[in-house]
Structure 1
Amino acid sequence: MKFKVLRLINIIEVLPGGTTKPLLVNAIDENGIKGQYVVKVFTKRQIAQNFATAKEILGCVLAQEFDLPVSQFGIINFPKSFLQDFYLPPEIEVVDDGYKFCCEYNPIGPIFKDIVTSTFLKKYDVAKVFAFDNILLNVDRGGQRKKANLLVSNTDFLLIDHELILPFINNHLNDGNPVNGQVLFSSFGQYDKHIFHVLLKGIRNNNKVALFDEFIELLRVLNLNNFLPIYSQMDHYGIPYDGKNSTFAYFQWVKTHLDYIKNELIRRIS
């Protein structure tokens, strides 16, 4: 998968509701095609400590591997002077100078708990999103702040915001050190705060046995070598990341313990 590298035409506005003050922009891709994109403007600290741009990229690529819908993504960069009409000077000062994550703009609203039973949102979709976030140790689809990070239209949904996945790679914690996949997965204590936990818990137990079968099969066939070009491109464009070895080791453990993963997911909604 080759990154889409975009060139800024102009900034339209700061989008409401985002803690990172994302920008809506017009941009043009390498083929000369214009479009509107949402740009995540992370700070130097968010990049240095959490590798937020790299995680957004990895989150989108992994979602695609699990047949979960995400917007087409790319990277973009532009001088900080372009931010003068949209951010305060202290905010501009702390913005990271490197390439920024962006995705195609989809003007559809956020999902709320009272519409998760929409007819198009099947229980297997819900189960797959829940399993995906559990595997990625994602505390940000629900969690303490009760953020949905999921957009919905009348017929479809999109996952957004993955800068808090894989927390074990934060702050250069684990790369080069042994990774205990079972400890990482088993100690994920935020699953009961997931936006779909209550809905899944309400399904009759005898109907839960096969809920995660598709997800487990996708885990089984996941080819980790597909991610090597992703890291190579992040190297090429100077997008900071860490924990590559730890991430590969963690997913190797996951792929060799599929029965345990499935049983634990079922237990978490029982």
Structure 2
Amino acid sequence: MKCSRSRVSEFSELFIEYQLKQSEKDILSQRDNGLKFCCEWVNGMQIVDTNNLKSHLKDYDLATIFAFDNFVLNLDRGGYRNKPNLLINDEYFLLIDHEQLFYFSDDVNASDNPVIADFKNNIWNYQAERHLFYPLLKSLSPRAKKDIFGTFWYYLKNLDTNILDETAFFLSQHQISIGNFDLIKEYIYEIKSKPDKFCDLLIQKIA
């Protein structure tokens, strides 16, 4: 599994001078000096064919991505906007475009998190039925579903939450909005502390 990655890079003077068209240089000259989010070209990959998923991805791949998207409340892979946001080739896949996450954090003044409240009451309101992989996971046999989120359970259990404050500080220092960070951190701590419960709720979703 190869997940999406991010890094900080700067355009060198040589790159600007010899790799950019004049029209691109003009656009760049009008931008401020802060961080920008952009794309990285990946050779030999294409948007996944949603009619041919099973030939490329194993059941545990489908389950792990599905669980990850539930965890971050990703509204951007599947039926919400009808785009898979998944690149693939013969060797691996790449998750892309994670701009629609943690929707509850849009209210920067909120002090209560409805997602956590529901989770504590054994309710998971993320609309999994709209997810790209939901039909495939739903169609699996009960036996296949039993431990299907085991890989994600391991990732969640071992998630290093120490990077949250560091990442938030970095983004804030570069004037990148992070929404209601306190609610995001509270949510991640709550889900991470109960991986069995979270995965059980996902099993119920695809039952």
Q: Same fold (TM over 0.5)?
A: yes
Query: Displacement of 1:201 after TM fit?
Result: 0.9
CA deviation digits over 1:176-220, x for unaligned, max 9? Answer: x132414277221x2101111111111101111110012112111
What corresponds to 1:148 in structure 2?
A: 84
- Distance of aligned partners of 1:99 and 1:238 in 2 relative to their CA distance in 1, 3 Å threshold: same
Amino acid at match of 1:187: N
Q: Percent identity?
A: 30
CA deviation digits over 1:119-148, x for unaligned, max 9? Answer: 4x2111110000000111111100232210
- Structure scoring higher RCO (CA < 8 A, sep ≥ 6) equals 2
CA deviation digits over 1:70-118, x for unaligned, max 9? Answer: xxxxxxxxx994169xxxxxxx9xx998422124211421012112012
Unaligned runs of 5+ in 2: none
Q: Does 1:178 align with 2:112?
A: yes
What corresponds to 2:150 in structure 1?
A: 213
- Distance of aligned partners of 1:6 and 1:252 in 2 relative to their CA distance in 1, 3 Å threshold: same
The two structures have a TM-score, normalised by structure 2, of 0.81
- Distance of aligned partners of 1:228 and 1:200 in 2 relative to their CA distance in 1, 3 Å threshold: same
- Distance of aligned partners of 1:2 and 1:200 in 2 relative to their CA distance in 1, 3 Å threshold: closer
The two structures have a TM-score, normalised by structure 1, of 0.63
1:149 and 1:159 in contact (8 A); partners too: yes
Aligned length: 192
Q: Does 1:101 align with 2:37?
A: yes
CA distance in 1, matches of 2:108, 2:180: 7
What corresponds to 2:64 in structure 1?
A: 128
What corresponds to 1:187 in structure 2?
A: 125
Q: Does 1:82 align with 2:23?
A: no
CA distance in 2, matches of 1:115, 1:96: 43
2:104 and 2:113 in contact (8 A); partners too: no
* DSSP-derived class of the 2:10 partner: strand
Q: Does 1:110 align with 2:114?
A: no
Q: Does 1:138 align with 2:83?
A: no
* DSSP-derived class of the 2:177 partner: coil
Output aligned runs, 1:1-270, within 5 Å. Answer: 3-7=7-11, 9-10=15-16, 81-82=26-27, 98-107=34-43, 108-119=45-56, 121-172=57-108, 174=110, 177-180=111-114, 181-183=116-118, 186-188=124-126, 190-270=127-207
CA distance in 2, matches of 1:2, 1:156: 18
* DSSP-derived class of the 2:38 partner: strand
Compare the two structures and name the one with the higher strand fraction.
Answer: 1
CA deviation digits over 1:26-84, x for unaligned, max 9? Answer: 69xxxxxxxxxxxxxxxxxxxxxxxxxxxxxxxxxxxxxxxxxxxxxxxxxxx994169
Compare the two structures and name the one with the higher helix fraction.
Answer: 2
* DSSP-derived class of the 1:104 partner: coil
Amino acid at match of 1:167: Y
CA distance in 2, matches of 1:2, 1:197: 27
1:126 and 1:196 in contact (8 A); partners too: yes
1:130 and 1:196 in contact (8 A); partners too: yes
Unaligned runs of 5+ in 1: 12-25, 28-78, 85-91
